[in-house]
Amino acid sequence: MELKLKGRTAFVTGASRGIGRAIAIALAAEGVHLALFGRDVARCEALAHELRTAHDGLRVVVVSLDLGQPAAIKPAVATAIGQMGGVDILVNCAGGAYRGRLNDIPDDAWERYFAVKPLGLIRMTREALPHLKKSDQARVINISGTRGREPGGVSVMSGPINLGTLSITKALANEFGQYGITVNAICPGSTDTGRWTELVTITARERGISIDEAKKHLVADVPMGRVVVPGDISDLAVFLASARSGMITGCAINVDGGRTRGI
Ligand SMILES: NC(=O)c1ccc[n+]([C@@H]2O[C@H](COP(=O)([O-])OP(=O)(O)OC[C@H]3O[C@@H](n4cnc5c(N)ncnc54)[C@H](OP(=O)(O)O)[C@@H]3O)[C@@H](O)[C@H]2O)c1
C-alpha cells in the first residue's frame, strides 16, 4: 500500500513518552520529518537522536513546549515552522487526566489538565491551520480516549476531557473539509504506558488485591485478551496520516481490543 508519507512533515505533541513517542517512531519509519513537542526536552532530544541515527537524512527537531502555558504555543509553532518549512500532519497527543474519583481530584487539577487537552490541542490546531492549508495531504490526528464515549472507571476526569476532544474533532472536520484537511480522533483504551501502571496500582488498592491480580482483572475485561500497547495506536495514526485515508474525516476510532461495550 502506497502511503505517500515519505518526505512529509509532522508535528507531534506529547512526543517525549508513551503513545506520542510511539507515533513519532512509526511516522519516522515511513520517512516523515518530525518536530517533537514536549516539556521534557531531554527525553525528546534523546528520541530525536535515535531517529536521526536510524533513518539517514531524516530531519527531526525538538521544540520545548508546555501546553499549559497558552502564550507559549504560538511562538513554539512558529519556531517549528521556521525549522521545518511547513507541516502536513499535526498529531495532538499530549495530555492525560488526573486519576481518581470525584473527591480524590484537587480543584485546581481540573483546570490544569483541561488546559492541555482539549484547550492546548485547540490552540495548537489554530496555530498550525494556516500552514496545514498549504499541504496537499493535510491531516489532524487527535488522541482522545474511550472514556470520552463511555465515562466512568477510576478516572472520572477522563470522560469530559476526551469527550471535549471528540466534539472539537468533529466540529473541525466539518470546518476544515473545504481546505482538504481531514481531522480524526483515535480513542485508546487503557494502554501500556505510565498511565497503565497508575491504573493497575489504583485498581489493586481499591480492590485489595495484588498488582498481578489487578492486571489480570483489567485484562479480563478486554475481549482481545491483552492490554493495548502504544504500537497499536501508532499503526492507526500512520494510516490516518497517509494518502489512503483521504475520505475519512470527523471519525473517532477505538483502539481498545473491544473493551468499550457501546457501538
Ligand atoms: N495510556 C492510556 O491508557 C490512555 C488511554 C486513553 C487516552 N490516552 C491519551 O493518550 C495520550 C497520551 O497518553 P500516554 O498514555 O502516552 O501518557 P504519558 O505516557 O503520561 O505521556 C503524556 C505526554 O503528554 C505530555 N504532556 C503532558 N502535559 C503536558 C503539558 N502541560 N505540556 C506539554 N506536554 C504535556 C507529556 O510530555 P512531557 O513528558 O514532556 O511532560 C507526555 O509526552 C493522552 O492524551 C492521554 O489522555 C491514554
Domain regions of the chain by residue span = 9-191+228-255
Q: How many Å lie between the centroid of ligand 1 and the Cα of residue 96?
A: 5
* Residue 117 beta carbon below 6 angstroms from any ligand 1 atom: yes
* Residue 246 beta carbon below 6 angstroms from any ligand 1 atom: no
Supply the pLDDT for residue 153: 81
Supply the pLDDT for residue 197: 92
Residue whose CA lies nearest to ligand 1 atom number 7: 145
Supply the pLDDT for residue 152: 86
Question: Tens of pLDDT along the chain (263 residues)?
Answer: 899 999 999 999 999 999 999 999 999 999 999 999 999 999 999 999 999 999 999 999 999 999 999 999 999 999 999 999 999 999 999 999 999 889 999 999 999 999 999 999 999 999 999 999 999 999 999 999 999 999 988 889 999 999 999 999 999 999 999 999 999 999 999 999 998 998 999 999 999 999 999 999 999 999 999 999 999 999 999 999 999 999 999 999 999 999 999 88
Supply the pLDDT for residue 154: 84
Cβ proximity of 172 and 140 under 8 Å: yes
Class of domain 9-191+228-255: alpha beta
Cβ proximity of 12 and 186 under 8 Å: no
Long-range contacts of 26-29 (CB under 8 A, 24+ apart): 26/231, 26/234, 26/235, 26/237, 26/238, 27/89, 27/91, 27/234, 27/237, 27/238, 27/241, 28/54, 28/55, 28/58, 28/60, 29/55
Supply the pLDDT for residue 224: 98
* Residue 193 beta carbon below 6 angstroms from any ligand 1 atom: yes
Q: How many Å lie between the centroid of ligand 1 and the Cα of residue 41?
A: 14
What is the 3-state composition of the chain as percent helix, strand, coil, each rounded to the nearest 5? 50, 15, 35
* Residue 66 beta carbon below 6 angstroms from any ligand 1 atom: yes
Cβ proximity of 186 and 141 under 8 Å: yes
Supply the pLDDT for residue 108: 97
Helices 158-176, 119-132: crossing angle, 10 deg rounding: 20
The pTM score is: 0.98
Q: Give the atom of ligand 1 at the shortest distance from the alpha carbon of 192.
A: 1
Supply the pLDDT for residue 263: 86
Encode burial over 75-113: b for 16+ CB neighbours within 10 A, e otherwise.
Answer: ebbebbbeebeebbbbbbbbbbbbbbeeeebeeeeeeeb
